[in-house]
Amino acid sequence: MTLISERPSPGEPRSYRFPPVVRRAVAGGEVVAAHLPGQSLAVATLLLDAGAGREPLGREGLAGVVAKALEEGTTARDTGAYALALEGLGTELSTGVDWDSFRTTVQVPVDRLLPAVTLLAEAVRTPRLDPADVERVRDDEVTSLRMYWANPGPGPTPRCGPTCSAPRSATAAPWTATRSRSPR
């Protein structure tokens, strides 16, 4: 084994040309696409202006619970059947909420993009939202929050105050300056 006494110097930067971005208006929104030839994976994301900032007072965390509950099936397929349909395409439904937006994503081999987007649309248009599933998802989110709050890591400093505690993503419980933690 040899030890290198000097770090190698960085190589010459390679030029990169960003692909052209295509925008198309569609009913109810806009499609923004960039074609990257030669890629084996395609990503489709539905981004909605429906983040945690739009939650009704007293219902904080609702967007996060709904996002997670979308993974629990649709009116046409129960949890197991929906999961099998996604797995059969080699993908999973990825959902998330931040303060400004609600997003749902699939990433699949290019030749399976259309059926994957169809499953994504099925989840968003006709979610199952079985009360037992929603309650379980809510309880999981509450447990995650309790574990986060129990973490002895740094929280907001008195000098910084509540502004450091502004939520970055939806949760299953109200955000307050005394209960939230600064983002890591």
Question: Is the pLDDT assigned to residue 171 strictly greater than 80?
Answer: no
pLDDT band at 138 (very low <50, low <70, confident <90, very high): very high
115-135 per-position pLDDT tens digit: 999 999 999 999 999 999 999
pLDDT at 83 over 90: yes
Lowest mean pLDDT among 57-66, 68-77, 146-155: 146-155
Concatenate the DSSP letters of all residues of the chain into one string: ----SSPPPP-PPPP--PPPEEEEEETTEEEEEE--TT-SEEEEEEEES--GGGSPTT-TTHHHHHHHHGGG-BSSS-HHHHHHHHHHTT---EEEEBSS-EEEEEEEEGGGHHHHHHHHHHHHHSB---HHHHHHHHHHHHHHHHHHHH--S----TTTGGGGG--SB--SS---TTT-----
Q: Which domains does the chain have, with CATH numbers?
A: 38-150 (3.30.830.10)
pLDDT value, residue 3: 72
Q: What is the pLDDT of residue 29?
A: 86
